[in-house]
Structure 1
Amino acid sequence: MSEPRILLADCDSYFVRCAMLADPEGAGRSELVIVGGSPTGRGVVTSASYAARAFGVHAGMPMATAVRLCPGAVFAPVPGEVVRGKHVEVRAVLDDFSPVVEAASVDEFYLDLTGTELMYHGEPLEQTALRIQREVMERTGISISIGGATGRTLAKIAASVNKPFGVCIVPPGGEAEFMARFPVSDIPGVGPALAESLRRRGVTMVRDLAVQDLATVVSWVGDSRGPWLHRLARGEDGGRVSRRGPQKSVSHERTFPMDISDREELETRLLMLAVETGASLRAEGLRARTVTVRVRYADFTDRSASRTAPEPIESDRAIYAVARELFRELLARRAGGIRLLGVGVSKLGPEQEAEPELFADVEGSGETERDRRLAEASDKLRGKYGRGTLVPARIANRDPKDRHRGRGDSEAES
């Protein structure tokens, strides 16, 4: 049986590259590009070019800080239509190279080339990766870095070694040596809290962890993560690639740089998450029955609420209407500063022609044909001119009385 041959294709500064392709005369002519919210508003950085990162700009940073650190940059909105379109194009190229491709995110793809040695005439995996890299660039204009290994976690780590537009292949048998050089914080799934807990025990590098026995590691991090972390520190990665099954949910979340307690601000954020979720849903040709809202409070307590609609929905208005009710119900149970907010939809199905009589055009009754057409038009405008092009007036210019209507009114809301 042949050794597993797993690749991770990771798009380099994907949102930046898409912004450059969307605006070749603006962002496309600059090395300093920052993508995200408005530079004059309260938005955050989604991505920054490598040149801008040298100034200290990074994802999640307030745009106001990015402007101060890198005033000469070109600031661009997220080009949603280009982001989705290039994802499909890159996936099509990768499908030509591997029978099994798994999209891990909008800009990451796993490929399983196990057992394809004869198809590639014994070509070294590194050469195959270089050919994939060139083909993706030529056909899509997207730069990718590729990592290769016998497991998916090692492949993901390897993909970060030679970015941008680099290739790093971990040879079979060299997994433990490869892992030994990394800090434990570089392991996907090891967050700041776990890394700090290990640091207090004298473990900062993977090599420090690899010399510990299983019982010790389990006593440190618990029965669920202990065996996984113990194996991975020794280069033992059993992660494989699977074909994507039917999509079960679509969601968008935001972690705020500072906790937010203001209801007006939070409901505006909730609306924009509903808009993003609706756009992703429609891009997949789907409708949803269930809407879920998730909040994380300042003390890291998570709460969520869900509701299932009688008929499938897809429009921003309908998703937000349900999300806002759920949101206010959560706030009625507990107020306080919010550090994360999310909107998701599930119970998905393909778009179908709606029966007009099921959607009477009455406020609050359900999704209307007008809602769906407006959402479709909005998708086209945001895709062409950027995500910030359209901000629904019902939030931006709401009547003050409407701000306090409904269940769960509170001065401090998520």
Structure 2
Amino acid sequence: MPPRILLADCDSYFVRCAMLADPEGAGASELVIVGGRADSRGVVTSASYAARKFGVHAGMPMATAVRLCPNAVFAPVPGEMVNRKHHEVRAVLDDFSPVVEAASVDEFYLDLTGTEMLYRGESLEQTALRIQREVMDRTGISISIGGATGRTLAKMAASVNKPFGVHVVPPGGEAAFMQRFELSDIPGVGPALAEALRRRGATAVRDLAGIDLPTLVSWLGDSRAEWLYHLARGEDVGRVSPRGPQKSVSHERTFAKDVRDPEELETRLMMLAVDTGASLRAEGLRARTVTVRIRYGDFTDKSASRTAPDPIQSDRAIFAIARDLLRTLLERRSGGVRLLGVGVSKLVGDQEDELVLFDDPPGGPETERDRILAEASDRLAGRFGKGALVPARIANRGVRDGTRGRGGSET
């Protein structure tokens, strides 16, 4: 039996999460731009399909987006909702396939090869339509699904009928399917490769039909030429495998104005440590290494890391190490800070124990009280929303999130 692979792609995912997080604001408008406030210096993370008609797109400076679509609702990245809906969508997909790979926060590959008997001869398109409806009913997230005999073809098929569409490439129809695309549409063909091909007169997949493999190798080298030669002919051997263990979690903020006051930077650092700790605990993980990243006003990036003797997950323990790292970075260079980030890595499961070999980290080791307070904060946030319980330092200073935020898991 031929492989049966699906790619479930969440439609305008960050926008939909922003609408669910703020139903009376972003949720009440068709024009939604996610990334920060309208007066920010950040960039667009995502835009609704209605806003895209005005020329707004991801990566665009927020100021440009405001000029193009001034009537839009501008929303911050809803980190908590993004993480929550990711897991909810994954749970639905796990009910349909024994093998699910989360390629990103909003893309999932499913391998349904060998499930024909389980689905009683149902076509792959019919199964995809049922998955689509189930995800919408249980999570409120719209997905588009592509199906094919290989993962790259499935990903390209998912783009055909967006949003909330399904397109399945039948076995044997792969070569004909590929003929509709430009070479730059193929995942993995970046601007440099597309330009190298354009200089030789190839801009569309059909332009490669008369080019033999040795010629393509002379243009691109062995590995890239062989990959592109076969894929252009619909020969896709990409398969699905469960993703490896998560490697890191990070949160960062770009400020509306450069921040120079060390005390204010530490307060903002605490906010990021709280977000990072919450993400860790939501995944049932603890971390050994804490990293602080700074971007100065001239776009120079600096970072510092430290490994704790024991895996940690509480806000206080993460902040204690991060504060020490921030002070070290600020001692090395002064100047306004444009972006600040906190990340954790060397992750272990919540129940895994490790031998202590080093001295305590700054602020002392993580205590049982730290963990109890962190868990209480998570429960309150789950019931009353983010910010229901925050450290007094944040509440007293009244510091708010900066222009643009990115939260979530990096793998």
- For this structure pair, what is the TM-score category when the shorter chain's length is used for normalisation? 0.7 to 0.9
The amino acid of 1:214's aligned partner reads: L
Which whole-Å CA distance do the structure 2 matches of 1:360 and 1:329 have between them? 19
Match of 1:282 in 2: 281
Displacement of 1:132 in angstroms is 1.2
Match of 2:71 in 1: 72
Q: Name the TM-score, length of structure 1 as normaliser.
A: 0.76
Displacement of 1:114 in angstroms is 0.8
Displacement of 1:295 in angstroms is 9.4
- Is the 1:103–1:109 Cα contact (8 Å) retained in structure 2? yes
- Is the 1:77–1:386 Cα contact (8 Å) retained in structure 2? no
The amino acid of 2:109's aligned partner reads: Y
- Is the 2:250–2:344 Cα contact (8 Å) retained in structure 1? no
The amino acid of 1:250's aligned partner reads: S
Which whole-Å CA distance do the structure 2 matches of 1:133 and 1:393 have between them? 45
Which whole-Å CA distance do the structure 2 matches of 1:71 and 1:382 have between them? 34
Displacement of 1:190 in angstroms is 2.0
Which whole-Å CA distance do the structure 1 matches of 2:270 and 2:49 have between them? 31
Structure 2 counterparts to residues 8-407 of structure 1, below 5 A: 8-245=7-244, 247-252=245-250, 277-291=276-290, 307-315=306-314, 318-319=317-318, 344-352=343-351, 364-367=363-366
Please tell me the root mean square deviation across aligned C-alpha atoms, in Å: 4.5
Identity of aligned residues (%): 75
| Counterparts in 2 of 1:77 and 1:392: CA distance versus 1, 3 Å | farther
| Counterparts in 2 of 1:342 and 1:104: CA distance versus 1, 3 Å | farther
Query: What is the SS of the residue equivalent to 2:89?
Result: helix
Displacement of 1:6 in angstroms is 0.2
Residue range with higher mean Cα deviation, 141-150 or 41-50 = 41-50
| Counterparts in 2 of 1:153 and 1:362: CA distance versus 1, 3 Å | closer
Which whole-Å CA distance do the structure 2 matches of 1:198 and 1:44 have between them? 30
Q: Name the TM-score, length of structure 2 as normaliser.
A: 0.76
1:290-310, CA deviations, whole angstroms, 9 ceiling, x for partnerless residues?
34578999xxx9998754321
Query: What is the SS of the residue equivalent to 2:113?
Result: coil
Displacement of 1:84 in angstroms is 2.2
| Counterparts in 2 of 1:241 and 1:276: CA distance versus 1, 3 Å | farther
Match of 2:402 in 1: none
Residue range with higher mean Cα deviation, 323-332 or 49-58 = 323-332
Residues matched between the structures, number = 390
- Is the 2:161–2:167 Cα contact (8 Å) retained in structure 1? yes
Residue range with higher mean Cα deviation, 288-297 or 117-126 = 288-297
| Counterparts in 2 of 1:174 and 1:323: CA distance versus 1, 3 Å | farther
Of structures 1 and 2, the one with the larger relative CO (CA 8 A, separation 6+) is 2
Displacement of 1:378 in angstroms is 6.7
Displacement of 1:164 in angstroms is 0.3
Displacement of 1:58 in angstroms is 1.6
Query: What is the SS of the residue equivalent to 2:45?
Result: strand
Which whole-Å CA distance do the structure 2 matches of 1:292 and 1:148 have between them? 40
| Counterparts in 2 of 1:253 and 1:280: CA distance versus 1, 3 Å | closer
Match of 1:7 in 2: 6
1:102-131, CA deviations, whole angstroms, 9 ceiling, x for partnerless residues?
222221111111111222222221111111
Unaligned segments of structure 1, at least 5 residues = 398-414
Which whole-Å CA distance do the structure 1 matches of 2:270 and 2:64 have between them? 24
Query: What is the SS of the residue equivalent to 2:120?
Result: coil
Residue range with higher mean Cα deviation, 131-140 or 148-157 = 131-140
Which whole-Å CA distance do the structure 1 matches of 2:45 and 2:127 have between them? 31
| Counterparts in 2 of 1:339 and 1:81: CA distance versus 1, 3 Å | closer
Match of 1:409 in 2: none
The amino acid of 1:52's aligned partner reads: A
| Counterparts in 2 of 1:195 and 1:370: CA distance versus 1, 3 Å | farther
Unaligned segments of structure 2, at least 5 residues = 398-411
